[in-house]
Amino acid sequence: MAGVAPDMTIDRAGFLAGAAAGLAALAVPLRASAATTLKARWMGGGVLELSSADDSTIVLIDAWIWNNSGYARFGLTKPADLASAAAYVASIKRRAPKTFVIALTHDHGDHMGDYFELMKTLVAENVPFMSAGQSDLMRTGLIPNFKAAGLDESKLIVNNGAGINFGGSATVGPVTLHLVPAQHSTSLGYPAAGFVIDMAGTRVYASGDTAVFGDMALIGRQFSPQLAIVCAGGGPYTMDAEGAADAVRMVGATEAIPVHYGHNPLVGGPETGERFKAALARIAPNAHATVMTPGGRATITLG
Ligand SMILES: [Zn+2]
């Protein structure tokens, strides 16, 4: 067999050009828009709501709201509009989003505790929404819960009930969700996930519960998210503030919000936010941290 012909030799410039073309081919484009701000509200623990400036698009990351125990360690009381299913759904109704999406990362109680009550109340109040999650969790694991709640999963789960698997996506109106891996466990055994969320002309990475892992750099290379919402509470369950800062470095986000702390005695307390901020300044100095309080709101400027 012939060896490699001399003219097949690839010089360094040619190799780099090829590598750059490969990167460009891999990158998932973001549909640009003039909007560069997102509103965020932390519900405590790992639960965060994102909305466009005009509330026409709302994406809720996980659903543990009125039972959320993320306030006491902060010495805070849960705001009235988050204190019951009826109150939260009434507030969503008042804001009248054109698109409301509930993105479920995994089935642990501190993420899914109020999920079915929320969906039942939304349906009862005629508030349109769609929910997304890992496909086997949605179309197998949680089917008994959907049946017990009297909910039609084929109409409420993205992709006609199929959900999303890793590398896949779903589009709901102006929102596109990409499912990405997380290194975590689940109660039913289906994989835990994170999301890359395109909304209001911005791109957000929501890590879900996870350890820090090297393929976060691949998520960064593929999606270039602007904002990273990262679990930071450490303890027995997830990466801590330093790991979360390293996650932000790897995905390359320029804005970050730490979550998943203060909601139980085993995870980091209220000081975790400042610890994350300090770690980010050291590990990802080009990124800016927004430290929130449970029930509190922030406006994040992106772009
Ligand atoms: Zn959790």
Write out pLDDT tens, residues 25-48: 568 887 665 558 999 999 999 999
* pLDDT in the model for residue 30: 78
Residue 2: inside a domain, yes or no? no
CA–centroid distance, residue 46 to ligand 1 (Å) = 6
User: What is the reported pTM?
Assistant: 0.91
For residue 16, is it within any domain? no
For residue 289, the CA-to-ligand 1 centroid distance in Å is 21
What is the structure's pLDDT at 279? 98
Q: Residue 161's domain is classified under what CATH number?
A: 3.60.15.10
Which residues, chain by chain, have CB under 5 Å from ion ligand 1? 46, 110, 209
Asked if residue 27 belongs to a domain, the reply is no
Residue 9 lies in a domain: no
Q: Report the mean per-residue pLDDT for the chain.
A: 93
pLDDT of the residue at 4? 43
> C-alpha distances in angstroms, 39 versus 9, 53, 80, 118, 140?
52, 6, 19, 21, 33
pLDDT one-digit tens code per residue, 190-234: 999 999 999 999 999 999 999 999 999 999 999 999 999 999 999
Residue 22 belongs to some domain of the structure: no
* Location of structure tokens 């000081």: 271
Domain that residue 232 falls in: 32-301
More confident residue, 16 or 209: 209
Rg of the chain over Cα atoms, rounded to whole angstroms, equals 20
Residue 293 burial by CB count (10 A; 0-12/13-18/19+): exposed, middle or buried?
Answer: middle
How many whole angstroms from 237 Cα to the centroid of ligand 1?
7
113 CA to centre of ligand 1 in angstroms: 11
CA of residue 5 to ligand 1 center, whole Å: 56
- Mean local confidence (pLDDT), 185-190: 96
User: What separation in Å is there between the alpha carbon of 263 and the centre of ligand 1?
Assistant: 9
Tell me how many domains the chain contains. 1
Measured in Å, residue 165 CA sits from the centre of ligand 1 at 20
Give the model's confidence band at 3: pLDDT under 50 very low, under 70 low, under 90 confident, else very high.
very low
pLDDT for position 6: 46
